[in-house]
Amino acid sequence: MKVVILAAGEGMRMRPLTLDTPKPLLKIAGKTILDHIFEALPLEIDEAIIAVRYLEDKIKKHCGKEFHGRPVVYAEGSDLGNAYSFLAAKPYLKNERFMVVQGDELLTKEDFINCLAYPLSILCFEVPDPWNHAVATLRKDGSIEEMSEKPERAVGNLIANGLMVLNQTIFQYKPKQHPNGEFYFSSMLNQLIKKEKVMAVKAQRPVGGISTPADISRVEKLL
Protein backbone atom coordinates (compact mmCIF):
# COMPACT_ATOMS: atom_id res chain seq x y z
CA MET A 1 0.00 0.00 0.00
CA LYS A 2 1.28 3.47 -0.87
CA VAL A 3 1.10 6.79 0.94
CA VAL A 4 1.11 10.16 -0.81
CA ILE A 5 2.69 12.95 1.25
CA LEU A 6 1.82 16.47 0.13
CA ALA A 7 4.97 18.53 0.75
CA ALA A 8 5.01 21.09 -2.08
CA GLY A 9 3.71 24.23 -0.35
CA GLU A 10 5.71 27.32 0.59
CA GLY A 11 4.42 27.56 4.16
CA MET A 12 3.83 31.31 3.93
CA ARG A 13 2.27 31.61 7.40
CA MET A 14 5.31 29.89 8.90
CA ARG A 15 7.75 32.55 7.69
CA PRO A 16 10.50 33.49 8.42
CA LEU A 17 11.21 29.85 9.37
CA THR A 18 10.33 28.62 5.88
CA LEU A 19 12.44 31.13 3.96
CA ASP A 20 15.30 28.62 3.80
CA THR A 21 13.63 25.43 5.02
CA PRO A 22 10.58 23.69 3.56
CA LYS A 23 7.86 23.32 6.16
CA PRO A 24 7.99 19.49 6.29
CA LEU A 25 11.65 19.75 7.36
CA LEU A 26 11.00 22.05 10.31
CA LYS A 27 11.91 20.35 13.56
CA ILE A 28 9.45 19.62 16.35
CA ALA A 29 10.79 17.98 19.51
CA GLY A 30 14.13 17.42 17.77
CA LYS A 31 12.77 15.69 14.66
CA THR A 32 11.57 16.99 11.32
CA ILE A 33 7.85 16.76 10.59
CA LEU A 34 8.62 14.24 7.84
CA ASP A 35 10.50 12.06 10.31
CA HIS A 36 7.50 12.13 12.64
CA ILE A 37 5.22 11.11 9.76
CA PHE A 38 7.40 8.22 8.60
CA GLU A 39 7.82 6.91 12.15
CA ALA A 40 4.03 6.75 12.49
CA LEU A 41 3.41 4.87 9.23
CA PRO A 42 1.82 1.43 9.75
CA LEU A 43 3.28 -1.80 8.38
CA GLU A 44 0.78 -1.78 5.51
CA ILE A 45 2.61 1.14 3.90
CA ASP A 46 5.43 -0.16 1.71
CA GLU A 47 6.19 2.92 -0.43
CA ALA A 48 5.96 6.70 -0.11
CA ILE A 49 5.25 9.19 -2.88
CA ILE A 50 6.25 12.71 -1.84
CA ALA A 51 4.83 15.61 -3.85
CA VAL A 52 7.48 18.36 -3.78
CA ARG A 53 8.06 21.78 -5.29
CA TYR A 54 9.20 24.52 -2.89
CA LEU A 55 12.86 23.92 -1.91
CA GLU A 56 12.37 20.39 -3.21
CA ASP A 57 16.09 19.60 -3.37
CA LYS A 58 16.30 19.86 0.41
CA ILE A 59 13.48 17.37 0.88
CA LYS A 60 15.02 15.00 -1.67
CA LYS A 61 18.40 15.24 0.07
CA HIS A 62 16.84 14.59 3.48
CA CYS A 63 14.77 11.58 2.42
CA GLY A 64 16.74 10.16 -0.49
CA LYS A 65 15.46 7.10 -2.33
CA GLU A 66 14.74 5.22 0.89
CA PHE A 67 13.61 6.76 4.17
CA HIS A 68 12.92 4.94 7.43
CA GLY A 69 13.13 1.64 5.57
CA ARG A 70 10.61 2.49 2.83
CA PRO A 71 11.24 3.28 -0.84
CA VAL A 72 10.54 6.91 -1.76
CA VAL A 73 9.65 8.41 -5.13
CA TYR A 74 8.95 12.06 -5.90
CA ALA A 75 6.15 13.74 -7.83
CA GLU A 76 6.44 17.32 -9.10
CA GLY A 77 3.91 19.36 -7.12
CA SER A 78 2.13 22.55 -8.16
CA ASP A 79 1.90 26.13 -6.95
CA LEU A 80 -1.79 26.21 -7.95
CA GLY A 81 -2.81 24.39 -4.78
CA ASN A 82 -2.50 21.02 -3.09
CA ALA A 83 -5.15 19.47 -5.36
CA TYR A 84 -2.74 19.58 -8.29
CA SER A 85 0.14 18.43 -6.11
CA PHE A 86 -1.96 15.38 -5.26
CA LEU A 87 -2.82 14.77 -8.92
CA ALA A 88 0.91 14.72 -9.72
CA ALA A 89 1.10 11.44 -7.79
CA LYS A 90 -1.55 9.72 -9.93
CA PRO A 91 0.93 7.92 -12.26
CA TYR A 92 2.38 6.10 -9.24
CA LEU A 93 -0.97 4.87 -7.92
CA LYS A 94 -2.41 1.66 -9.31
CA ASN A 95 -5.85 0.13 -8.79
CA GLU A 96 -5.62 -0.08 -5.01
CA ARG A 97 -6.40 1.85 -1.87
CA PHE A 98 -3.82 4.36 -0.75
CA MET A 99 -3.32 6.94 1.98
CA VAL A 100 -2.79 10.69 1.65
CA VAL A 101 -1.07 12.80 4.30
CA GLN A 102 -0.50 16.53 4.46
CA GLY A 103 3.23 17.09 4.92
CA ASP A 104 2.76 19.30 7.98
CA GLU A 105 0.71 16.96 10.19
CA LEU A 106 1.77 15.21 13.40
CA LEU A 107 -0.03 11.89 13.54
CA THR A 108 0.07 8.69 15.58
CA LYS A 109 0.37 5.14 14.34
CA GLU A 110 -3.11 4.60 15.80
CA ASP A 111 -4.47 7.37 13.57
CA PHE A 112 -3.24 5.51 10.50
CA ILE A 113 -4.51 2.13 11.72
CA ASN A 114 -7.93 3.50 12.67
CA CYS A 115 -8.34 5.13 9.26
CA LEU A 116 -7.42 1.86 7.55
CA ALA A 117 -10.36 0.15 9.28
CA TYR A 118 -12.68 1.67 6.66
CA PRO A 119 -12.62 1.45 2.85
CA LEU A 120 -12.67 5.28 2.68
CA SER A 121 -11.97 7.58 5.61
CA ILE A 122 -10.68 10.98 6.73
CA LEU A 123 -9.13 11.82 10.10
CA CYS A 124 -10.99 14.59 11.94
CA PHE A 125 -10.86 16.53 15.22
CA GLU A 126 -12.30 19.64 16.82
CA VAL A 127 -10.52 23.01 16.92
CA PRO A 128 -11.38 26.49 18.24
CA ASP A 129 -10.63 28.18 14.88
CA PRO A 130 -12.33 26.02 12.22
CA TRP A 131 -12.47 28.84 9.64
CA ASN A 132 -8.73 28.36 8.97
CA HIS A 133 -9.18 24.71 8.00
CA ALA A 134 -11.30 22.25 6.02
CA VAL A 135 -14.50 22.10 8.08
CA ALA A 136 -16.43 18.81 8.07
CA THR A 137 -20.09 18.12 8.84
CA LEU A 138 -21.21 14.56 9.58
CA ARG A 139 -24.22 12.37 8.97
CA LYS A 140 -25.82 10.39 11.80
CA ASP A 141 -23.83 7.28 10.87
CA GLY A 142 -20.51 9.10 11.31
CA SER A 143 -19.78 9.50 7.62
CA ILE A 144 -18.83 12.91 6.25
CA GLU A 145 -21.62 14.84 4.58
CA GLU A 146 -19.73 17.94 3.46
CA MET A 147 -16.35 19.66 3.63
CA SER A 148 -15.73 23.41 3.29
CA GLU A 149 -12.18 24.77 2.91
CA LYS A 150 -11.59 27.91 5.00
CA PRO A 151 -15.25 29.02 5.05
CA GLU A 152 -16.23 32.57 6.00
CA ARG A 153 -18.70 31.05 8.46
CA ALA A 154 -18.03 27.62 9.89
CA VAL A 155 -20.88 25.31 10.87
CA GLY A 156 -19.35 23.51 13.85
CA ASN A 157 -15.69 23.13 14.77
CA LEU A 158 -14.87 19.70 13.36
CA ILE A 159 -12.10 19.76 10.77
CA ALA A 160 -10.37 17.28 8.48
CA ASN A 161 -6.86 16.67 9.77
CA GLY A 162 -4.90 15.89 6.63
CA LEU A 163 -4.90 12.07 6.72
CA MET A 164 -7.19 9.97 4.57
CA VAL A 165 -7.73 6.58 2.97
CA LEU A 166 -8.82 6.78 -0.67
CA ASN A 167 -9.02 4.75 -3.85
CA GLN A 168 -9.03 5.43 -7.59
CA THR A 169 -12.55 6.89 -7.39
CA ILE A 170 -11.09 10.23 -6.26
CA PHE A 171 -9.60 10.76 -9.72
CA GLN A 172 -13.09 11.02 -11.22
CA TYR A 173 -13.42 14.50 -9.72
CA LYS A 174 -11.73 17.68 -10.89
CA PRO A 175 -10.42 20.36 -8.52
CA LYS A 176 -12.52 23.48 -8.09
CA GLN A 177 -11.00 26.92 -7.58
CA HIS A 178 -11.48 28.54 -4.17
CA PRO A 179 -12.41 32.25 -4.07
CA ASN A 180 -8.82 32.94 -2.96
CA GLY A 181 -7.55 31.50 -6.25
CA GLU A 182 -6.15 28.19 -4.97
CA PHE A 183 -7.25 24.70 -5.94
CA TYR A 184 -7.64 22.79 -2.67
CA PHE A 185 -7.65 19.00 -2.45
CA SER A 186 -10.74 19.31 -0.26
CA SER A 187 -12.71 20.45 -3.33
CA MET A 188 -12.16 16.97 -4.80
CA LEU A 189 -12.94 15.27 -1.50
CA ASN A 190 -16.18 17.22 -1.20
CA GLN A 191 -17.34 15.80 -4.53
CA LEU A 192 -16.31 12.29 -3.47
CA ILE A 193 -18.25 12.31 -0.19
CA LYS A 194 -21.44 13.25 -2.01
CA LYS A 195 -21.21 9.97 -3.96
CA GLU A 196 -19.37 7.61 -1.61
CA LYS A 197 -19.48 6.77 2.10
CA VAL A 198 -16.38 8.31 3.64
CA MET A 199 -16.08 7.78 7.39
CA ALA A 200 -14.82 10.39 9.85
CA VAL A 201 -12.19 8.96 12.20
CA LYS A 202 -11.42 10.73 15.47
CA ALA A 203 -7.76 11.74 15.88
CA GLN A 204 -5.96 10.10 18.81
CA ARG A 205 -3.71 13.10 19.47
CA PRO A 206 -5.42 16.23 18.12
CA VAL A 207 -2.51 18.65 18.32
CA GLY A 208 -4.07 21.14 15.91
CA GLY A 209 -2.62 22.78 12.85
CA ILE A 210 1.07 23.61 12.49
CA SER A 211 0.74 26.85 10.57
CA THR A 212 2.75 29.54 12.38
CA PRO A 213 6.02 29.67 14.39
CA ALA A 214 3.97 29.91 17.59
CA ASP A 215 2.36 26.56 16.79
CA ILE A 216 5.70 24.76 17.08
CA SER A 217 6.22 25.52 20.77
CA ARG A 218 2.52 24.87 21.45
CA VAL A 219 2.64 21.46 19.79
CA GLU A 220 5.91 20.47 21.49
CA LYS A 221 4.21 20.86 24.86
CA LEU A 222 1.54 18.36 23.79
CA LEU A 223 3.94 15.62 22.67
* CB 184 within 8 Å of CB 83: yes
pTM, to two decimals = 0.90
Residues of the chain with confidence (pLDDT) below 70: 127-134, 148-157, 206, 208-209
Cα–Cα nearest to 159, from 116, 196, 202: 202
- d(CA 84, CA 51) in angstroms, rounded, equals 10
pLDDT of residue 203: 86
pLDDT of residue 205: 73
CATH number for the domain formed by residue range(s) 2-218 = 3.90.550.10
Q: Residue ranges of the domains in the chain?
A: 2-218
- d(CA 4, CA 26) in angstroms, rounded, equals 19
State pLDDT tens for residues 14-56: 899 899 999 999 999 899 999 999 999 999 999 999 999 999 9
- d(CA 136, CA 147) in angstroms, rounded, equals 5
